Chain A
Amino acid sequence: MLGPGVPWYLAISAMLFSIGVAGVLLRRSPLVVLLSLEIMLNSANLAFVGFSRLFGELDGQVFALSVMAVAAAEVCVGLGLIVAMARRNLVLDVDRFTELRG
């Protein structure tokens, strides 16, 4: 295999996932929360591709492509929600949206 082995890919994947978690928990703007979600999805994709290479099976890459399609759908709905919020003149701050809190 060219370059470092699979554990290095998994380490990078873990670091990216933690960065994404920190972004989702820390940031208040729903746009940046969505961007951090994308980082988390991509770190999962990196782990999928790494494991796919480890086992020599292409199923992991097929799953990574499916994750990409789901991420596109998620962005479509998420951005639609954000634009709908902005059009109702709501403040774009995830801490203010407490109506559904139990």
Chain B
Amino acid sequence: MVAWIVWLVAAAACLGTGVRVVTATNPFSSALSLIGNLASLAVLYLLASGEFVAAAQVLVYAGAVMVMFLFVIAYLGGHADAPWAGGTRVIQTASVITAAALLGVTLVALMLDAGGRLSDEADVSRAFGSPAEIGRLFLTDHLLAFEVTSIVLLVAAVGGVVLGMRSEEEVSVDARLKPVTHAPSQADAEEASA
């Protein structure tokens, strides 16, 4: 019973914050709502016995990735942008219809199978989803995926550095705009000592 209530609250929070991410005019509110969304998803993972995934979600996603997002929004000034601004009315209507159709198709597919194979869950041990089990899988069955992940992250980091490098043009503009610093001259030093 308690689990149902927790699940309902987490699911409602998840959908509410998701809608808020899309409809908020200020990018800051969007990013903060996404943090709420990720946290409520972590609660859902916990209820589905994904303890390690839930912990990683909060630490890596809601923590590290979203802080990076917030830094960039702060750097760019996060100016408000109405969710419906830009694009013709046809495009907007088509977008909403596309999303609704996708949802409809998936829900119908789910309902057709409900009561069938989707509802009899396998029995799992208490260790299911624990860090020890996941770690064992990563170092045995999924070792290749684990190693490839490290390369993907390395490539992304290098890509980020390359994208962040200044072109020579920009550097020369910066040099021209730099305020002239006043180097202490001989006369200043004599004045100070006298």
Contacts and interface: CB of A to CB of B under 8 A. Distances in A.
How would you classify the secondary structure of chain A's contact residues: helix, strand, loop or mixed? helix
B34 to A, nearest CB: 5
Interface residues of A, number: 73
Interface in A61-77: 61-62, 64-66, 68-77
Contacts of A7: 110, 113-114, 118-119
B179 to A, nearest CB: 20
How would you classify the secondary structure of chain B's contact residues: helix, strand, loop or mixed? helix
Given A22-B95, A62-B145, A39 B121 contact: no
Say which size band chain B's interface belongs to. Answer: 35 or more
B100 A58 contact: no
18 contacts: A2-B47, A6-B118, A7-B114, A18-B106, A19-B99, A21-B102, A31-B78, A35-B69, A38-B34, A42-B41, A52-B50, A54-B121, A58-B137, A59-B137, A69-B153, A75-B69, A76-B159, A77-B160
Interface of B: 3-4, 6-7, 11, 14-15, 18-19, 21-22, 27, 30-31, 34, 37-38, 41, 44-45, 47-50, 52-53, 56-57, 60-61, 64-65, 68-69, 72-73, 75-76, 78, 81, 83-87, 91-92, 94-96, 98-100, 102-103, 106-107, 110, 113-114, 118-119, 121-124, 128-129, 133-134, 137-138, 141-142, 145, 149, 152-153, 155-157, 159-160, 162-164, 166, 170
Given A2-B3, A65-B53, 6 more contacts: A11-B110, A46-B44, A49-B45, A56-B123, A58-B128, A80-B160
